[in-house]
A and B are shown apart, each in its own frame.
Chain A
Amino acid sequence: MNNLKIFLKGIIDVSPLMVPVVPFGIIFGVLAIELGFNAYATMGMSIIIFGGASQIIFLQLFSGGASSLVILSSVGAVNSRHLLYGAVLSEHLSDLKLTWKIIISYFLVDQAFVVSNDYLKKSKDENKHFHLFGAGVTCWTIWQITTFLGIILGSIIPEKLGLSFAIPLTFLALLVNDFRKLINVIVIIVSGVVATLGYQIIPFKAYVIVAALSGLLIAFIITKFVVKKND
């Protein structure tokens, strides 16, 4: 297949996953405006950061007065989940030129990864990365349009609707599958309790990092214990 055909296939394959991205982008735009960011900064975040969870955590911490260091490390921590995908993708893309690796890295969001990973595994074409490119460009376009819609809506929607409550709900929605596993539930509760109780006590709003590390430590201890027991 030629480049264009593979690119188009990427667009078609990722399209169904764009349905939940639409309200997510709108919610981001609305919240940014309600939290006092101007339209340029809001649009700038979607273009420069281009990552839903990173952007919403940025809003939450920045509007709460967190220090730059805490914001940066929290965004880094949120993104560390991407490292999980590393092994899978590098296998398929290791022969690409650096320029392509840079371009694809910018567009690589969860949805594009999910659909293109399937395609990359099956295809033997040398230009199969155009699939990931097509899927990524689609996500990017939808994200920018919906951010813009959110900016417009944000100036109309009344503040008393309490839309900032959509922030914890959005993160809750990303966790629903983890509530089925006991270890995950324990990690969730440990992290949540540490964050809630540490909110006032831990300096520089570093409660996010402290809570996340506590959760990971518990996960480390429990999995080690479980693994040993199984041996």
Chain B
Amino acid sequence: MTNWSLIIYCGLITFFARFSMIALIKKEMFNDRVREVLSYVPSAIFPAIIFPAVFLDNSGVLDIESNPKIIAAIIATIIGVLSKNILATIFSGLIAYWIIIFF
């Protein structure tokens, strides 16, 4: 299950995203409007990973009843917003998840 060429292409994309910021992009290229919309990129892309992983079961079917991941994710969100701490968010979610599935 290895796809080296895909890994290398992903490496190149990541590299050029960084390289372009140093070598190609100049201040004048971005007006405030573009900058403002770009600032929403994390809010636009991360939920596309988060929501399906939380709300769907292993076969990709919507699972809202008796889904421990939903409660754990809500707890992690609350802890995260209150603490603003990356680690506290991850571990509160994991611990909540383990408490629900093991006890």
Contacts and interface: CB of A to CB of B under 8 A. Distances in A.
Interface of A: 19-20, 23-24, 27, 36-38, 40-41, 44-45, 48-51, 54, 57-58, 60, 62, 68, 71-72, 74-87, 89-91, 93, 98, 101-102, 104-106, 108, 161-180, 183-184, 187-189, 191-196, 199-200, 207-208, 211-216, 219-220, 223, 227
B6 A215 contact: no
Interface residues of B, number: 69
The 7 closest A-B pairs by CB, nearest first: A215-B44, A86-B25, A192-B51, A176-B80, A79-B17, A192-B47, A86-B21
Contacts of B97: 162, 165
Contact of A169 (B20, B61, B93): B93
A82 B13 CA distance: 12
B7 A49 contact: yes
- Tell me if B's interface is mostly helix, strand, loop or mixed: helix
Contacts of B24: 86, 90
A212 B52 contact: no
Contacts of A82: 17-18, 21
A219 B40 contact: yes
A68 B72 CA distance: 32
A167 B17 CA distance: 23
B91 to A, nearest CB: 8
Interface in B65-92: 69, 72-73, 76-77, 80-81, 84, 86-87, 89-90
Contacts of A62: 3, 6
B44 A212 contact: yes
Contact of A176 (B19, B47, B77): B77
Contacts, number: 270
Contacts of B90: 23, 27, 166, 169-170, 172-173
A176 B43 contact: no
B18 A105 contact: yes
A86 B41 contact: no
Contact of B14 (A20, A75, A98, A174): A75
A215 B77 contact: no
A219 B52 contact: no
Interface string B42-64: 11111111111111100011100
Contacts of A191: 43-48, 51
Nearest to A171: B46
A86 B94 CA distance: 35
Contacts of A188: 43, 46-47
A106 B81 CA distance: 32
Contacts of A196: 51-52, 55-56, 62
Nearest to A85: B21
Contact of B2 (A41, A83, A180): A41
A220 B45 CA distance: 14
A21 B90 CA distance: 12
Contact of A184 (B33, B40, B80): B40
Nearest to B98: A161
A80 B38 contact: yes
A95 B27 CA distance: 15
